[in-house]
Amino acid sequence: MPELDSKYKAVRSVTRSIAECLSPEDQMVQSCPEASPTKWHQAHTTWFFETFVLRPFLPGYKAFQQEFHWLFNSYYTSLGREIPEKKLRDCFSRPSLDEVLAYRQHVDQEMERLLWGLVNDEPARIILLGLNHEQQHQELALTDIKHAFFSNPLHPSYAGSSRLEEKRSAASKLTWHSFKGGLIEIGYPLETANHLDFCFDNETPRHKVYLEAFQIANRAVTCREYLEFMSDEVYTRPEYWLSEGWETVTKAGWQAPLYWERDCNDETGWRVFTLRGWHGLSTLLDTPLCHISFFEADAFARWRGCRLPTEAEWECVANQAPLHGNLLDSDRLHPATANGTGVEQLFGDCWEWTASAYTGYPGYKPLPGAPGEYNAKFMCGQMVLRGGSCVTAASHVRATYRNFFPPPTRWQFTGIRLAT
């Protein structure tokens, strides 16, 4: 399948480009429990293709190194041997980065051999899952290295700052768009998909949902608007917080979004760490707020007399919007100011917290075997996010895509869109 081979090479090349400016030492760092070293991201995504594609579908395949079968597993408990603790991934000085890159090359060569001889759809579906899995890890690698560099006392920059120094206009005024609600359908339409289309199992089955009439904001909440929330001392006012949120805020001592630090040299009193280094908050006031938890998003919405949209409301709106935005392909690596018309920023910039708990749709069935662990086992204690971010690949987003994280999560590019 030449077309699938092209997709495979394109995705794998993006991973290489993300890592190429990082030193071997950079690629060893794991700065928080949610994160993983860049070296591990490269090895684990390669492990996926070796484990789920080459071993079962390529006769005579010879593993690069047998120990890698358990070493680079993540959470697939049905595959056997106990998985190394995620919090210890930065302790693996061996295999070296050179060995990991050799592992990737070995698997790429064998995948090319398989892809050019592929005649049926069964391995194709698993390969597409692997490619989308790798795109998720590309986003995670950038998110993780941002946290690693922020945690480093030297605060190195991942990329040059020029893309954040462009002349900025004010953000669009926050306005409301009304939707009449009624009976709608959400979820991926499998019946219209071709053999190279893809969705995750948690996006299915497509089903009917009844919506009351609602309003949704035309854009994401900006840093300027969130600074007003902070100035009103809402971080010290329990009446706006969910019980678990207030407990989290007080225990962690949160006073601002992740990556905001006080800076007397900026007129706002704050500076923000980005993948392109430090920037005064005054230069980013009209860009979308990011790196906040569900608890902070919910508190902000309550403070504004609003709420977060449900995921069904969000998808209803997104199905009527063009599928483009500030994504990884734009190379900005930071949310961009909204200054158009209509409902903007649904795709890219920041993942948007919704009010919906992450669970299976009516009639949901996970994939058979170990791949079924990919999404189903996390359907407890997590909230749904929608829309992608500035480090999500453009070919990876769609209106039905369901991301999910625990409510306290802040290290991911997460933001707010209001609804009423």
pLDDT tens by residue, 348-389: 999 999 999 999 999 999 888 877 778 888 999 999 999 999
| Residue 284: C-alpha distances to residues 35, 351, 376, 391 (Å) | 26, 18, 38, 18
CA–CA distance, 41 with 46 (Å, rounded to integer): 9
CA–CA distance, 164 with 337 (Å, rounded to integer): 11
pLDDT of residue 192: 83
Centre a 10 Å sphere on the Cβ of residue 381 and count the other Cβ atoms it contains: 10
Say which residues have a Cβ less than 8 Å from residue 120's Cβ, sequence separation at least 6. Answer: none
Residue with tokens 């690693």: 148
| Residue 195: C-alpha distances to residues 1, 48, 124, 170, 388 (Å) | 11, 20, 8, 44, 24
pLDDT of residue 69: 87
pLDDT mean across residues, the chain: 93
**Run of H or E residues at 357:** strand 351-357
Residue with tokens 């597409």: 128
Cα three-residue angle 258-325-145, rounded to 5 degrees: 35
Q: Sketch out the chain's domains with CATH numbers.
A: 2-151 (1.20.120), 162-415 (3.90.1580.10)
pLDDT of residue 165: 57
User: Which pTM was predicted?
Assistant: 0.94
pLDDT of residue 108: 97
| Residue 382: C-alpha distances to residues 291, 359, 388 (Å) | 17, 8, 17
| pLDDT tens-place values along the chain, 420 residues long | 788 999 999 999 999 999 999 999 999 999 998 999 999 999 999 999 999 999 999 999 999 999 898 888 877 766 665 555 555 666 778 899 999 999 999 999 999 999 988 766 779 999 999 999 999 999 999 999 999 999 999 999 999 876 665 556 788 999 999 999 999 999 999 988 887 899 999 999 999 999 999 999 999 999 999 999 999 999 999 999 999 999 999 999 999 999 999 999 999 999 999 999 999 999 999 999 999 999 999 999 999 999 999 999 999 999 999 999 999 999 999 999 998 889 999 999 999 999 999 999 999 998 888 777 788 889 999 999 999 999 999 999 999 999 999 999 999 999 999 999
pLDDT of residue 93: 81
